[in-house]
Structure 1
Amino acid sequence: MLRVHFTAGDMARTRVADGPDPLWESVLSLHRLQAPDREPALADWRGHVLRHAAPSLRLLLPLVPSRGYFPDFLTPPQGSEGFEAGLDGLLGTPRRQLRGQMERLGLERPPCPWARSVAEGSAPVMRRLGAALRDFRRVALGASWHGVRSGTEADRAWRARVQWYSGTAAMLQTFGPGIRWQPPVLECDYPADKDLHLDGRGLLLVPSYFCRRTPVALADPALPPTLVYPARNTVRHRRRTADRAAGEHLARLLGHTRAAVLQSVGGNCTTTELARRAGVSLSSASEHAAVLRDSHLITSTRECNTVRHALTPIALALLDGHPAAVIPSPGGAGNHAALHGRPAPATGDRP
């Protein structure tokens, strides 16, 4: 078990990342390639990567075993700023850290000549490692990155919104059985028994598409505290019968077309994308989006000449079948009638 110890200052400094970290996703996708439980949903992706990224895999797999320790320098904090920024941070790792982390990796598996050369950290070797990571990301995540982002966006937006309206403690209670908030400690199912004291630094929570079952943290407690966790939208084991029941429930509540529009929003999309996904006209998608927005089921933000829509916590709860997860939204109750396109009756002061 991993126990993350919070202080009052840590509660104020804890936040959910703006999206998936490309270097964490690269490393965790290497885990998925080696996993004994081959997920059917990833079969095509896995075959594509094995066919087209073989040269990169020969250099990367010795650094990222299928389980256990992997070096922290592969997932530097600069990765939150994008792949190239993260890669610059990785390539700038001090040689002392490289040597220490590679020595620790060598305790769990005999080092190959390539791993020993990485431990030395010469410029040519690090450039070769950077080229392998860049090539692997292009093959494994390049065409899939939009799906990775959309697969984590609904989770990220939901938890950030819970934190905004109800506070950090409420957000830490949203993770479910594998990550439990027992104030002032966050208990996480973990393959090793360890304690992480934040000491006022706060915690960065990073939703991940490729993370499975248990969260992942950096091994060195001196590094910026980070917890990478499986995003809810990436869980692929929902029963089809449960999905059908949820769809029927939404159709009774919203009507078939509006339910289809709500289910088509995904993590984030424009009105044009929404119309295409739901199979309706652009004007119809715009009208349904307006009703869903007035009912606090989606939020809409304008970016230049486009409008982007995202699900709210209430919508996520409806789609996931977890009504207990609903938190109060701005405007409170009184919007049930608006779900069907009718104005809601006037209510008193907003909370």
Structure 2
Amino acid sequence: MHQLREGRRNTQAGRAEQTCPDRRQMMRTLTPLMPTRGYFPDFLTPAAASGGLESGIDAVLSTPKCRLHDELSLLAQHNPLPAWTRRLADGEVDTLHWLGRALRRYHTDVLGPRWPRIAARVEADRRHRIGVQYRAGTEAMLHTFGPTLSWQSSVLSAEYPVDRDIHLDGRGLLLVPSYFCRRTPVALLDEQLLPILVYPASPPAPEQASTPHSRLAPLLGHTRAAVLETLQGPRTTSELAEHAGVSLSSASEHATVLRNAGLVVSVRERQHVRHTLTQLGADLLNGGMPLSRQYP
């Protein structure tokens, strides 16, 4: 959203947004909530998004009314907000669902066509950090961020728009690589929430750009290897089909075979079935190196 508003048409998001049929409606809904400078509400970036788009949207729509009111009031101190945001601040169900539809449609129309490339860069960055952490430890991993972040004497420092200290007090810090984060890392304002630091995902080096697909294809078949590789994070059956480029029935069939082989576990959540790699599946996908989880 920030890149689009700044007119960065050279970006992939900018080119995709130009073809979006509902651009004006989505922009009218989302733009007031996401100013390009200063504060924007923490509830729009929930940790639950680690489970996928629908999990993230569900978390946004489940934000407690008191938090909606407090965060939107803080946003309104420096940004003029349209009248409908008052209903959002009151937790009005129809307005929340309207916001959810706008987020979902924006993701589909603007990001969807480029999502495999976006996800590949984020995953390449994450795998690189995990690999260093696995081989050399956490401190070595924290030294891989170059000028973006620096680690010294138990303090992680970042170039940041304002002078700010965040004390973990024994809590873990979630590092989130982001395709669209630019210039400086971003942290949540509310220090009572899970500490999260979003940083710019580095473009993959040539050796990071390779995938296990070619290695696993002779064993599993090209399509099934692609389905397994798609499970870098939890996916519903429809998400599997979309990201692996297969039909819904084919995705379901391949997920069943992988589950029977002990590589995948499937759990029904409401109207969806969510598939997740087992440790065996993760080890196979990662060439025998155990994968760290994105979230504690």
How does the TM-score come out when normalised to structure 2? 0.69
Matched, 1:141 2:141: no
| TM-aligned CA deviation for residue 39 of structure 1 | 3.5
Change (3 A) 1:100 1:207: same
Of 6, 18, 21, the residue aligned with 1:47 is 18
Change (3 A) 1:132 1:153: same
Q: Deviations over 1:119-178 (max 9, x none)?
A: 111111111111111111111222222111111222111111111111111111111112
**Amino acid across the alignment from 1:99:** H
Letter in 2 for 1:270: H
> What SS is found at the alignment partner of 2:161?
coil
Q: Which amino acid aligns with 2:113?
A: A
1:221 aligns with 2:187: no
- Say whether 1:153 aligns with 2:92: no
CA contact (8 A) 1:150 1:268 kept: no
| Paired position in structure 2 for 1:316 | none
Q: Which residue of 1 aligns with 2:152?
A: 182
Contact 1:98 1:121 in 2 (8 A): yes
Whichever of the two has the greater Rg, that structure is 1
Q: Is this contact kept in 2: 1:78–1:89, CA < 8 A? A: yes
Measure the CA separation in 2 of the matches of 1:222 and 1:102.
17
Report the Cα offset of residue 104 of structure 1: 0.3
Q: What are the equivalent positions in structure 2 for 1:164-183 lying under 5 Å apart?
A: 164-183=134-153
The answer (yes or no) to whether the contact 2:50–2:56 under 8 Å persists in 1 is yes
Gaps of 5+ in 2: 223-257, 264-280, 290-296
CA contact (8 A) 1:179 1:189 kept: yes
Partner AA of 1:271 in structure 2: S
Q: Deviations over 1:224-261 (max 9, x none)?
A: 01111111117xxxxxxxxxxxxxxxxxxxxxxxxxxx
Q: Is residue 95 of structure 1 aligned with residue 65 of structure 2?
A: yes
Q: Which protein, 1 or 2, shows the higher relative CO under an 8 Å CA cutoff with sep ≥ 6?
A: 1
Deviation by residue 1:44-81 (Cα, 9 ceiling, x = unmatched): 224234x5432122111110011211100111111111
The answer for the alignment partner of 2:171 in structure 1 is 201
Paired residue secondary structure (1:172) = helix
Distance 1:273 1:143 in 2: 26
What residue in structure 2 maps to residue 115 of structure 1? 85
Q: Which residue of the partner structure matches residue 36 of structure 2?
A: 66
Q: Which runs of 5+ in 1 are unaligned?
A: 1-29, 235-261, 275-281, 283-302, 313-351
State how far apart, in whole Å, the 2-side matches of 1:181 and 1:264 are.
25
Q: Which of residues 196, 209, 219 in structure 2 aligns to 1:266?
A: 209
Q: What aligned pairs does 1:1-351 form with structure 2 within 5 A after superposition?
A: 30-35=1-6, 37-39=8-10, 42-49=13-20, 51-233=21-203, 263=206, 266=209, 268=211, 270-271=213-214
Change beyond 3 A, Cα 1:267–1:108:
farther
Q: Identify if the C-alpha distance between structure 1 residues 125 and 41 changes in structure 2 by more than 3 Å, giving closer, same or farther.
A: closer
| SS in structure 2 at match of 1:67 | coil
Amino acid at match of 1:171: M
Partner Cα distance (2:210, 2:63) in 1: 34
Give % identity: 42
What does residue 255 of structure 1 align with? none
What is the aligned length? Answer: 228
1:171-200 C-alpha deviation (Å, 9 max, x unpaired): 111111121112211111111111111111
